[in-house]
């Protein structure tokens, strides 16, 4: 093979490697990995978030005096009629079933169902039990005769027992959540920080440990299906939350003055706890030096059915916790007894219900079990809503930012979340399931679902390439690929050109020879012929 | 006829209108703020001694928001942090922003979250979008929610649509805009107040497109931002004009101030700043004249008195006897229920305490440690201890003697 041909082949090889190996490799290595997401499914869920949900709550009817064999069917008709009267945003219904021995067997302390007990009395009315999930409907003989009983039961159930669902799940209510300005957003793990603040530096002690064991531990356990509290306590000296700057002698200190005076910055240290949410209880004693006669605006807390008033006021700080301001400063070396802390625990427990969003404003908590049960269901729905919202945000972002990478992990999380969602919906929709265990389980799963969706959304790898503008890309690639490409292409061009030049030269030489020959023929001056002829 | 009847009413209404609107304005200042937690992100993107003023800018802002009650846990401070302990600093460990050196900005406890080479574009974007690896500490994250107002302050050297990060890289205005959009999608803010003090600062907010963002910049496109003054002793410029006049205004603000952001914007004049301050309000729903300074620069926690209802407790015994169910239901407390439930499961001996009478406050201050008592106590214990030691020594001595005797006999 001639040198020219060899050069040509080498040139071709370089170009071929450049084009068929280099370019695909570069493309592969620099392409942002974008795993596929079930975009259409998520979009359809976003358009109608509760499309596949039909919340069914089983309610058992029990009658002690009379036997009504078909009362559950009759109540069911009335309940359906009543529920249909309002347009529902989240479809829900009650499944009225007769109370029998099987239910009795399934029911335990930890797994209660909603039960309606019909009781013959002289008047018509209802009560909800304070310590169970039972609703008692009183009726008289006249109601039985006029066949009004099913309607009474249905009305009691829908408008009273399931009042939270009735108000929050219809079309007029925009949001599923019971959240208001005071309550923190729901989180299954909440840190509780209890602090004793003293305006002075003299040592004080408090019996917080026995108080918490005696009062707060049972309360924690009571709320444990809903929220898991972790508690810490501490004493802070030389801090009265800036109360000394208030006009102490004035009794006219309003909440507005307090809002602008109280400085909670030292207590808002939620970043030091592993939990995402935190609530605080601050028990403040003013300083002896600045307030020897106590704070005039603290007018004490009255106790029901008693003449005694306690020397402190409590204040609710929205989404933060509770401040208890004591009227008098602490004497040096005081020990705050459990008896003194006990009423505070009572007040705080009631406030926790506000802060969690279980009760609003001055609303009474008349039947805690039923309220907690409804709250669980609303929280599950709220979690489902939140999960879809998060997934939809994820989809929107990935579509908007084409340069954003989508790791395989995100896609796996999304798929897992969607499966989990269906699992939860199965639990909600099943009319046979509706005991405490089922709701607790569904709540736990829905919390997992929210976590999974957040994990997908906040994946750390999705930041890459996002802050990498086009100019930067050119700035990086040009010095790297520019010289290689330039050398290769110009070299190849050169080789091609060389070959052509060689070819042209040969052709030119051949043509030249041919012309010379022709000219010689014309002149009959070809030596050979002369010689032959001669 | 009807019109004639309506006319006096209309007149009356017109007469009352000024009063009612005046009342409304007053009421506006006393309404409950809906933002329940305010955050501040303060970034100095420069490095090196000659950029002293950028560090001082950020530290001054830090001091101001902290003074107005934003806790350290809600302030994210990003700065190269290389001037306080710089060998060229005549006042080691201190940073000043004024001629009289009255306030040492570095004096109080300054919690820097991202320092030195941690101040990068990537970390800033990660901070805003909260996309981190799982082991990232919580104190270095922007844990905001839909009720959070965020004040973002950036200073450094900038240009048309970019801001340099430590001479190594730059952030484009689009990047910040996209990060805000991601925050908006995940409901991570209620409102953002973006303030930037660099050359050509107004270009930095030009690409924003997410709602509820109010932005202010120190200078127009193709315009420089200037420093306020140089310090003879420190040898470099110590603060920028825009930030200086901002702080000048903010120094007069207290937590109960009713001044608004419009008042702040009005205080910026070309004579003072030497450049054209730009304000972008089109994305922001509220009028700046309705936004209190404290809505962003302070943390005002609403306090709601909780003493409307008498406290009910110790009704456990009422409940047990069922004497008066109606009364019980009115006065019950959920804690009683929890205690009762706990009692059913595991009998708690402490439950009897519930029926105890409440002691008055005077009885609370049980004095356990008057000096005299503790002194006697310590004297007694010392004597006892000494006696105890003496006894042990005696016993040991006697033991040794016996042993010695024994050995003697053996031998």
Give the integer Cα–Cα distance in Å for B104 and B100: 10
Q: Which residue has the higher pLDDT, A349 or B20?
A: A349
In chain B, residues with a C-beta closer than 8 Å to the C-beta of A336 are 364
How far is the C-alpha of B76 from the C-alpha of B73, rounded, in Å?
Answer: 8
Coil, strand or helix: which one is B298? coil
Count how many residues are written for chain B: 411
Q: What's the CA angle centered on A433, arms A430 and A434, to 5 degrees?
A: 115
Residue B159 touches partner A, C-beta closer than 8 Å: no
The sign of the torsion formed by the CA atoms of B306, B312, B316, B319 equals: negative
With CB atoms and an 8 Å threshold, state whether A315 touches B305.
yes
Q: Which of B180, B177, B183, B142 is nearest to B162 (CA)?
A: B177
Confidence band for B265, pLDDT divided at 50, 70 and 90: very high
- Rounded mean pLDDT, A435-454: 90
Higher pLDDT, A256 or B139: B139
**What whole-number distance in Å separates Cα of residue B106 and Cα of residue B59?**
7
CB contact under 8 A, B335 and A350: yes
* Chain B: residue whose CA lies nearest to A305: B312
Residue A533's pLDDT is 43
Please answer yes or no on whether B334 and A368 come within 8 Å at the CB atom: yes
As a whole-number percent, the residues of chain B with pLDDT over 90 amount to 32
Residue (of A59, A448, A439, A452) closest to A225 by Cα position? A439
Q: How far is A264 from chain B (nearest CA, A)?
A: 7
Chain-chain contact of B312 with A458 (C-beta, under 8 angstroms): no
Q: What is the largest CA-CA distance in chain A?
A: 160
pLDDT tens for residues B197-229?
Answer: 999 999 999 999 999 999 999 999 889 888 888
Compute the half-sphere exposure of residue A9: CA atoms within 13 Å on the CB side of its CA.
6
Whether residue B109 is predicted with pLDDT greater than 60 in this model: the reply is yes
Q: Which residue has the higher pLDDT, B52 or B325?
A: B52
The 10 Å Cβ neighbour count of residue B135 is 5
| pLDDT band at B90; cut points 50, 70, 90 | confident
Quick one: pLDDT at residue B61? 93
Residue B359 reports pLDDT greater than 80: no
Q: Which residue of A has its CA nearest to B256?
A: A260
Contact check, Cβ <8 Å, B131/A343: no
Interface test with B, best of A136, A179, A196, A268 (most B CBs within 10 A): A268
How many Å apart are CA A197 and CA A241, to the nearest integer? 8
User: If DSSP codes are grouped into helix, strand and coil, which group holds residue B329?
Assistant: helix
Confidence category of residue B363, pLDDT binned at 50, 70, 90: very low
Find out whether B198 and B155 touch, Cβ atoms under 8 Å. yes
Shortest CA gap B112–chain A (Å)? 15
Question: Nearest by CB to A463, which of B36, B74, B126?
Answer: B126
Among all residues of B, which ones are annotated catalytic? 157, 199
Chain A residue at shortest CA distance from B161: A469
Mean pLDDT of A158-178: 75
Contacts of B121 in chain A (CB under 8 A): 467
The Cα–Cα gap between A156 and A79 comes to: 10
Q: Does A250 touch chain B (CB under 8 A)?
A: no
Query: Which residues 73-102 of chain A have a CB within 8 Å of chain B?
Result: none
CB contact, 8 Å: A125 with chain B?
Answer: no
Q: A313: number of CA atoms within 13 Å, CB side?
A: 23
Based on the number of CB atoms within 10 Å of its own CB, is A348 exposed (0-12), middle (13-18) or buried (19 or more)?
A: buried
ipTM: 0.81
Q: Does B256 touch chain A (CB under 8 A)?
A: yes
Measured CA distances, A239 to A196, A235, A258, A284 (Å): 10, 10, 15, 8
Please give the residue of chain A at the shortest CA–CA distance from B374: A333
User: Nearest residue of A to residue B144 by CA position?
Assistant: A276
Q: Residue B242: how many CA atoms within 13 Å on its side-chain side?
A: 27
Q: How confident is the model at residue B230 (pLDDT cuts 50, 70, 90)?
A: confident
What's phi and psi for A192, nearest 5 deg? -120, 120
CA distance B275 to B221: 10
Measured distance CA(A62)–CA(A243) in Å, rounded: 57
Q: For residue B242, what pLDDT is reported?
A: 92
Res A445: pLDDT: 93
B101 DSSP assignment:
-
- d(CA B331, CA B314) in angstroms, rounded, equals 10
> DSSP 3-state assignment of B313?
coil
Between CA A2 and CA A8 the distance in angstroms is: 10
What pLDDT does B368 receive?
Answer: 37
DSSP one-letter code for B34: S
B310–chain A Cβ distance below 8 A for any pair: yes
Interface contacts (A, B; CB < 8 Å):
246
A125: β partners? A138
- Minimum distance, in Å, between the CA of residue B310 and any CA atom of chain A: 5
Q: Are B241 and B225 in contact (CB under 8 A)?
A: yes
Taking the mean position of all CA atoms in its chain, how far away is CA B203? 29
pLDDT at residue A450 tops 60 = yes
Give the pLDDT score at A160.
Answer: 85
Contacts of A433 (CB under 8 A, 6+ apart): A58, A427
CB contact under 8 A, B126 and A317: no
Q: Is B342 on the interface with A (CB under 8 A)?
A: yes
- Start-end of H helices in B238-370: 241-250, 261-266, 270-273, 294-297, 316-321, 325-331, 334-345, 361-364
| Cβ contact B303–A301 (<8 Å) | no
Among the partner-chain residues A213, A258, A462, the one whose CB lies closest to the CB of B303 is A258
Average of pLDDT values for B70-80?
A: 90
- Chain A, residues 306-345, CB within 8 A of chain B, namely 306, 308, 310-311, 313-320, 322-323, 326-328, 330-331, 333-340, 342-343, 345
Q: Is A72 on the interface with B (CB under 8 A)?
A: no
For residues A377-395, give the mean pLDDT.
92
Quote the crossing angle between the two packed helices B121-129 and B173-185, to the nearest 10°: 20
As to burial, measured by CB atoms within 10 angstroms (0-12 exposed, 13-18 middle, 19+ buried), residue A217 is: middle
Find the mean pLDDT for residues B148-158: 93
Question: What average pLDDT does range B119-135 have in this prediction?
Answer: 90
Helix/strand/coil for B39? strand
User: What residues contact residue B211 under an 8 Å CB cut-off, 6+ apart?
Assistant: B184, B283, B285
A470 inside 8 A of chain B by CB: no
CB atoms A459 and B131 under 8 Å: yes
Most confident of A90-99, A390-399, A470-479, B31-40: A390-399
Determine, for residues B329 and A400 on separate chains, whether the beta-carbon distance falls below 8 Å: no
Report which of A118, A104, A95 is spatially closest to residue A434, judged by C-alpha positions. A95
Confidence label for B28 from pLDDT (cuts 50, 70 and 90): very low
Instruction: Give percent of chain B with pLDDT exceeding 70.
Output: 71
- As to burial, measured by CB atoms within 10 angstroms (0-12 exposed, 13-18 middle, 19+ buried), residue B221 is middle
Q: How many residues does chain A have?
A: 534
Instruction: Report whether pLDDT(A239) > 90.
Output: no
Distance from CA of A219 to the nearest CA of B (A): 5
Secondary structure of residue A532 in the 3-state scheme = helix
pLDDT of residue A248: 58
Rg (chain A; Cα; Å) = 41
pLDDT the model gives residue B4: 46
Q: Which of A166-180, A503-517, B143-157 ranks highest by mean pLDDT? A: B143-157
CB contact, 8 Å: B360 with chain A? yes
Comparing A394-403, A429-438, B139-148, the range with the smallest average pLDDT is A429-438
- Residue B189 is predicted with a pLDDT of 93
Of A109, A301, A338, the CB nearest to B311: A301
Cβ burial, residue B272 (10 Å; 0-12/13-18/19+)? middle
| Residue to test with chain B: of A319, A346, A360, most B Cβ within 10 A | A346
Residue B364 has its nearest CB partner, among A337, A353, A366, at: A337
CB A204 within 8 A of CB A163: no
For residue B288, the distance in angstroms to the closest alpha carbon of chain A comes to: 21
DSSP letters along B190-207, please? SEEEEEEESTTGGGTTTT
> pTM (2 decimals)?
0.79
Over 90: is that where the pLDDT of B127 sits? yes
For residues A414-419, give the mean pLDDT.
94
> Cβ-count burial of A86 within 10 angstroms (0-12 exposed, 13-18 middle, 19+ buried)?
middle
If you average pLDDT over residues B148-164, what whole number do you get?
92
Residue B383 burial by Cβ neighbours in a 10 Å radius (0-12, 13-18, 19+): exposed
* B27 interfaces chain A, CB cutoff of 8 Å: no
- Asked if the Cβ–Cβ distance from A308 to B360 is below 8 Å, we say yes
Answer whether residue A74 shows pLDDT above 70: yes
Q: Is B370 in the A-facing interface, judged by CB distances under 8 Å?
A: yes
Put simply, whether B302 touches A (Cβ < 8 Å) is yes
Q: From the list B147, B311, B353, which residue is nearest A346 (CB)? A: B311
- Of A194-208, A293-307, A324-338, A452-466, the least confident: A293-307
Nearest by CB to residue B333, choosing from A299, A301, A349, is A349
Residues in chain A within 8 Å Cβ distance of B145: 185
- What is the H or E stretch that residue B158 is in? strand B158-159
Interface test with A, best of B73, B357, B364 (most A CBs within 10 A): B364
């Amino acid at each position: 093979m001639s040198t020219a041909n060899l050069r040509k082949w080498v040139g071709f090889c370089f170009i071929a490697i450049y084009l068929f190996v280099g370019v695909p490799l570069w493309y592969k290595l620099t392409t942002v990995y974008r795993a596929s997401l079930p975009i259409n499914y998520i979009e359809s869920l976003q358009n109608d978030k509760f499309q596949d949900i039909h919340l069914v709550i089983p309610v058992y009817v029990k009658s002690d005096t009379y036997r009504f064999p078909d009362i559950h069917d009759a109540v069911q008709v009335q309940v359906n009629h009543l529920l249909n009267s309002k347009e529902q945003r989240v479809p829900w219904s009650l499944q009225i079933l007769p109370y029998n021995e099987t239910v009795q067997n399934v029911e335990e302390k930890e797994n209660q169902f909603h039960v309606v007990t019909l009781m013959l009395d002289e008047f018509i009315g209802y009560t909800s039990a304070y310590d169970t999930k039972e609703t008692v409907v009183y009726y008289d003989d006249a109601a039985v005769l006029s066949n009004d009983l099913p309607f009474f039961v249905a009305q009691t159930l829908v408008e009273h027992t399931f009042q939270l669902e009735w108000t929050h799940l219809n079309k007029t209510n925009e949001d599923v959540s019971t959240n208001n300005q005071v309550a923190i957003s729901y989180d299954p793990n909440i840190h509780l920080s209890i602090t004793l603040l003293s305006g002075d530096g003299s040592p004080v002690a408090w019996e917080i440990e026995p108080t918490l064991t005696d009062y707060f531990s049972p309360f924690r356990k009571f709320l444990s299906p809903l929220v898991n509290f972790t508690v810490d306590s501490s004493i802070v000296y030389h801090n009265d939350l800036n109360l000394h700057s208030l006009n102490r002698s004035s009794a006219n200190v309003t909440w507005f003055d307090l809002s602008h005076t109280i400085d909670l910055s030292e207590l808002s240290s939620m970043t030091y706890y592993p939990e995402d949410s935190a609530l605080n209880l601050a028990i403040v004693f003013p300083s002896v030096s600045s307030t020897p006669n106590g704070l005039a605006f603290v007018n004490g807390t009255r106790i029901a059915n008693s003449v005694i008033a306690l020397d402190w006021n409590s204040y609710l700080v929205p989404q933060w916790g509770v401040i208890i301001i004591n009227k008098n400063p602490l004497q040096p070396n005081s020990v705050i007894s459990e008896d003194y802390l006990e009423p505070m625990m009572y007040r705080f427990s009631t406030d926790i219900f506000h802060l969690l969003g279980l009760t609003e404003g001055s609303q009474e908590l008349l039947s805690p079990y039923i309220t907690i049960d409804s709250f669980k269901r609303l929280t599950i729905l709220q979690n489902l809503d939140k999960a879809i919202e998060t997934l939809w945000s994820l989809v929107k972002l990935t579509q908007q930012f084409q340069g954003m990478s989508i790791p395989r992990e995100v896609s796996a999380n999304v798929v897992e979340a969607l499966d989990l969602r269906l699992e939860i919906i199965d639990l909600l929709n099943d009319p046979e399931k509706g005991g405490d265990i089922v709701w607790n389980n569904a709540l736990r799963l829905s919390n997992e679902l929210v976590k999974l969706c957040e994990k997908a959304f906040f994946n750390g790898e999705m930041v890459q390439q996002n802050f990498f503008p086009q100019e930067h890309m050119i700035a990086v690639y040009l010095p790297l690929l520019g010289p290689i490409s330039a050398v290769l292409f110009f070299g190849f061009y050169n080789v091609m050109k060389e070959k052509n030049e060689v070819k042209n030269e040969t052709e030119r030489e051949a043509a030249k020879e041919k012309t010379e020959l022709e000219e010689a023929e014309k002149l009959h001056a070809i030596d050979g012929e002369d010689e032959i002829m001669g | 006829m009807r019109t004639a009847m309506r006319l006096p009413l209309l007149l009356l209404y017109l007469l009352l209108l000024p009063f009612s609107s005046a009342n409304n304005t007053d009421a506006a200042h006393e309404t409950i703020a809906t933002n329940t937690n305010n955050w501040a992100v303060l970034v100095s993107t420069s490095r090196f001694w000659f950029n002293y003023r950028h560090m001082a800018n950020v530290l001054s802002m830090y001091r101001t928001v902290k003074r107005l009650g934003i806790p350290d846990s809600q302030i994210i401070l990003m700065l190269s942090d290389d001037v306080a302990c710089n060998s060229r600093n005549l006042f080691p460990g201190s940073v000043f922003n004024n001629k009289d050196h009255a306030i040492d900005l570095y004096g109080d406890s300054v919690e820097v979250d991202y320092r030195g080479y941690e101040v990068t574009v990537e970390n800033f974007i990660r901070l805003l979008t909260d996309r981190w690896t799982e082991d990232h500490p919580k104190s270095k994250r922007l844990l905001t929610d839909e009720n959070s107002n965020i004040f973002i302050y950036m200073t450094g050297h900038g240009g048309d649509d970019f801001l340099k990060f430590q001479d190594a890289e730059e952030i484009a205005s689009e990047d910040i805009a996209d990060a805000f959009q991601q925050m908006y999608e995940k409901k991570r803010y209620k409102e953002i107040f973006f303030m930037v003090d660099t050359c050509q600062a107004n270009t930095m907010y030009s690409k924003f497109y997410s709602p509820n963002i109010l932005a202010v910049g120190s200078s127009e496109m193709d315009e420089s931002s200037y420093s306020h003054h140089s310090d003879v002793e420190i040898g470099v410029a110590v603060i920028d004009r825009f930030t200086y006049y901002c702080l000048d205004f903010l120094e007069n603000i207290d937590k109960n101030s009713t001044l608004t952001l419009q008042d702040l914007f009005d205080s910026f004049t070309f004579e003072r700043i030497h450049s054209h301050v730009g304000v972008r309000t089109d994305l922001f729903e509220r009028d700046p004249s309705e936004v209190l300074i404290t809505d962003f620069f302070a943390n005002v926690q609403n306090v709601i008195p909780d003493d409307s209802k008498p406290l009910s407790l110790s009704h456990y015994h009422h409940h047990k006897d069922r004497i008066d169910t109606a009364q019980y239901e009115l006065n019950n407390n959920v804690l009683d229920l929890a205690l009762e439930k706990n009692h059913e499961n595991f009998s708690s001996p402490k439950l009897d305490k519930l029926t105890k009478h409440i002691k008055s406050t005077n009885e609370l201050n049980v004095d356990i440690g008057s000096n005299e008592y503790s002194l006697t106590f310590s004297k007694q214990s010392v004597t006892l201890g000494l006696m105890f030691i003496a006894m042990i020594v005696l016993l040991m001595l006697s033991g040794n003697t016996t042993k010695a005797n024994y050995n003697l006999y053996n031998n």
